[in-house]
Structures are given as C-alpha cells and as structure tokens.
C-alpha cells in the first residue's frame, strides 16, 4: 500500500514536470515565431518609434532639436547629406519617422522622410558616420478590369463602378487623337484592363499602365492595346485591333478637359469689335493658369507679346503645318526651342484682346489658316509589317478578355 502511494506521488510529480517543460518549450517557440518589425531597413523593436507629419514652417533643425540633437550636430548632418537630401526642401504635410534610443535620453538616431507613398529618404546619424540613402517601399502590381456606361462624365462613371477616377485622365491621353473627350455622349461605353499598384500588398499606390481599353463613342468602337513595337527605343504605344497607330501627328486640342467656347468662323460677329470679323482660330475656354500643350512636335518660331494676340507662341511642325497659341498668361518656351507633342509651352491667360480666359488655337496649313477640327490629320509612323503578325497574336487573348466584359444595361 505504501509502495503504491509513493508510486502515485512520483507519477504526479513527473507529469507536473513534463507539463512545465512543455509549457516552457511552447513559450520559447512562441518567442521564436514572433518576427521582428522590419521597416525602412531597421528593426523597429530596437528603437522608440515616433511617427509624425511636417508642420507648416517646421524645419529639419526644429524636429531634431525636439528629439535631443544639438544644433552643432544638426548643422554637421545637414552639410554631410546635402548632395542626397536637401533639408531645406521639407514639405508641410509629408509624414516622417524618428527612431530614437530606448533609454532615458530618447535621443534621435535616424530620421526618415517619406517623399511620397513609395519613395523615402533615410538619414542615419546614430554612429560617427553620417549617411543619407534613398529607398523605395515594396510595390506589387495587380491587373484589374473595369467597365461602365457614361451617364454624366467619364470620371463619375469610373467612380460609380469602383474604378479609380484617375483612369479618366489616362484614357483621355490614349484616345486624344481619336475621340473628342470634350464632347462625350450619354450612353458612351468603356472597358479597361489596367494595373493597380499596392504598397506592401494592402495600401493603394496609384494606377500603373493601361494594358488595353475599349471605348464606344456615338456607337462607334475604338480599341486600344499597349504594345512595344520599337524594340530599340522600348517605348509603349497604343494600337487598335488592326495594328493601326492610335496616335496622330496632332492632338485634337491644346488643353485637357476644356471646352470649345468659339469655333473657326469666317463670318462671326465679334462682340469685342462690334462688327463681323473673321475668327480664324478655335477658342478653348479654361481657368487662368491651365497648362497649354503643343499639339505636335516642332520648333518654336515665335514667342512674343503682340497687340490683340497678347502673349503667344507659334510652332512650325514641318513644311506643311504650323500652330499658334494666343492670349497666354505666361510663355514657357523661346524661339529656337524644339518641343514635343504634349509639352507644356505656356499657361492660359487673358492677354491681348479677349473677354475671358482661354487659348485661341490657330492652325496653319501651307501658310493658310484653316479649321483644325475639319482637317484629316496624318497618323503617326505605322507599325512595321514584319511586326504586325506578332502584334495580332499578342492582342488576341487580351481582346477576348475585353469582349467578355459585358455591360449591365
């Protein structure tokens, strides 16, 4: 009986010890499983982490001084990192992080400035060696699809479908040569396959490339597929389902998202003059300061202020075509400059004879002013015949994806 009692006590003790050992091992395993918090290349568990935002008028020196760095050291840091990071260029509203010592001094060791959602700059001064390095947060790209029927505006239709409205601007650029986005119609339709960027898989970080799009304008379909036809330059361009270039030699307008306030009209009565006077330009109304773009590649042959024209720029594109942009607030190019299609050459103003802010766009063909909206403008350089078969094969499955996106009537 006594032997049985001793055996029972020993067994209970052994089981108890085993449980404690098991519990201890589980704690060790849990400690091992806990991953360090790594961000910006640092283990945040080793620091006191202070996240904040640059206040209006706040300086780099004030921030570091608040975190126990003296001004002689701040001056040394600023000088050492100037070539990589100019501390005078801190912008109000930008987030920053300070990594400080985990002791009673809480002295700053590292300053991290977030230039934007993706790019950041790390200033490390914890040791005698002061350094500044630029970094990027991990960005992943997901292919997404969207579609919709326009009821009011393209951006509102995109938003209603849960698609980033920023795509409206990108689509307007793709179709700038084929669709007049100032005159979209109710019940026009669109489909789009595009890249959505995410930071660390969760934070939306903007739109990437549009891979393909379909736009049905006034019942007419327009396809657009992104493709690198020039393997030397490696520039992506947009082509339709038959390999025709969507880009034309001229943009339809020198402004984005504006409206035509007055068309080319040789018999128009101009209120400013109180009589019939030929209007040989097309007026695009827009707020003062709106960027004015060159509608094609060319060289600036005039950039000046003159009477009723006000500030204006004239560009010679080739031996046939020239364009002119009147009433600018500011001119941003000078005579002799070579400009590219879409380059900003000035801003909308009210200089010269004008009753409201707009740009008067004049179009010259063979030395004579004509209506640009009635011109059959030349296309960009066509795709090489040797590349076309590969292109048609490349877009086949993408086109099927677009066609499979059905509209909800």
Query: d(Cα 216, Cα 191) in Å, to the nearest integer?
Result: 9
State whether 67 and 167 are in the same domain: no
State whether 227 and 275 are in the same domain: no
Number of domains in the chain: 3
State whether 233 and 270 are in the same domain: no
Full strand arrangement of the beta sheet holding 131-136: 48-53, 95-100, 108-114, 119-124, 131-136
In a domain, 388, yes or no: no
Q: Does residue 269 have a pLDDT over 60? A: no
Is the CB of residue 359 less than 8 Å from the CB of residue 327? yes
Q: How far is CA 346 from the centre of its chain?
A: 21
Mean pLDDT of 216-243: 86
Please name the residues in contact with 60: beta carbons below 8 A apart, sequence gap of 6 or more. Answer: 74, 78, 87, 88, 90, 111
Out of 119, 136, 153, pick the residue that ends a domain: 136
Query: Nearest CA to 205 among 256, 113, 136?
Result: 136
- Token pair 């009635």 is found at 374
State whether 151 and 210 are in the same domain: yes
Query: What would the pLDDT profile of 111-147 be if each residue is shown by its tens digit?
Result: 999 998 889 999 999 988 899 999 998 889 999 998 8
CATH of the domain at 129: 3.10.450.350
Query: What would the pLDDT profile of 373-399 be if each residue is shown by its tens digit?
Result: 888 776 677 788 899 999 999 999 999
- Mean pLDDT in the chain? 84
CATH of the domain at 338: 2.70.70.10
State whether 161 and 232 are in the same domain: yes
* Domain carrying residue 201: 139-239
State whether 337 and 354 are in the same domain: yes
Mean pLDDT of 64-85: 94
Query: Percentage of residues in the chain with pLDDT exceeding 70?
Result: 86
- Range of lowest pLDDT (11-20, 71-80, 274-283): 11-20
pLDDT computed for residue 349 by the predictor = 95
In a domain, 397, yes or no: no
Is the CB of residue 380 less than 8 Å from the CB of residue 247? yes
285 — phi, psi (to 5°)?
Answer: -80, 140
């Amino acid at each position: 009986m006594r032997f049985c009692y001793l055996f029972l006590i020993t067994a209970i003790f052994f089981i108890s010890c085993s449980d404690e050992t098991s519990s201890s091992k589980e704690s060790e395993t849990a400690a091992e499983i806990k991953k360090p918090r790594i961000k910006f290349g640092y283990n945040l568990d080793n620091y006191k982490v202070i996240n904040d935002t640059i206040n209006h008028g706040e300086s780099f020196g004030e921030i570091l001084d608040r975190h126990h760095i003296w001004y002689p050291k701040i001056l040394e840091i600023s000088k050492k990192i100037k070539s990589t990071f100019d501390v005078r260029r801190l912008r109000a509203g930008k987030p920053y992080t300070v990594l400080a010592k985990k002791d009673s001094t809480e002295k700053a060791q590292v300053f991290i400035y977030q230039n934007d959602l993706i790019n950041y700059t790390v200033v490390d001064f914890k040791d005698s060696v002061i350094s500044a390095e630029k970094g990027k947060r991990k960005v992943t790209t997901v292919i997404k699809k969207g579609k919709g029927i326009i009821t009011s505006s393209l951006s509102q239709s995109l938003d209603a479908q849960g698609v980033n409205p920023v795509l409206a601007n990108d689509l307007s650029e793709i179709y700038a040569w084929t669709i007049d986005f100032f005159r979209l119609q109710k019940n026009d339709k669109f489909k789009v396959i595009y890249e959505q960027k995410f930071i660390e898989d969760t934070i939306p970080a903007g739109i990437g490339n549009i891979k393909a799009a379909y736009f049905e304008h006034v019942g007419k379909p327009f396809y657009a597929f992104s493709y690198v036809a020039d393997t030397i330059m490696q520039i992506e361009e947009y082509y339709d389902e038959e390999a025709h270039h969507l880009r034309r030699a001229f943009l339809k307008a020198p402004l984005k998202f504006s409206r035509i306030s007055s068309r080319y009209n040789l018999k128009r009565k101009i209120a400013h003059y109180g009589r019939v006077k030929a209007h040989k330009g097309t007026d695009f109304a827009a707020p003062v300061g709106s960027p004015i773009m060159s509608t094609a590649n060319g060289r600036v042959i005039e950039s000046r202020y003159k009477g009723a024209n006000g500030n204006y720029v004239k560009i010679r594109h080739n031996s046939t075509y020239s364009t002119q942009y009147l009433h600018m607030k500011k001119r941003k190019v000078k005579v002799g400059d070579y400009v590219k299609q879409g380059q900003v050459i000035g801003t909308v103003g009210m200089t010269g004879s004008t009753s409201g802010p707009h740009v008067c766009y004049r179009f010259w063909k063979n030395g004579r002013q004509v209506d640009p909206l009635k011109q059959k403008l030349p296309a960009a350089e066509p795709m090489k015949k040797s590349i076309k078969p590969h292109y048609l094969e490349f877009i086949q499955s993408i086109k099927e994806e677009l066609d499979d996106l059905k509209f909800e009537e």
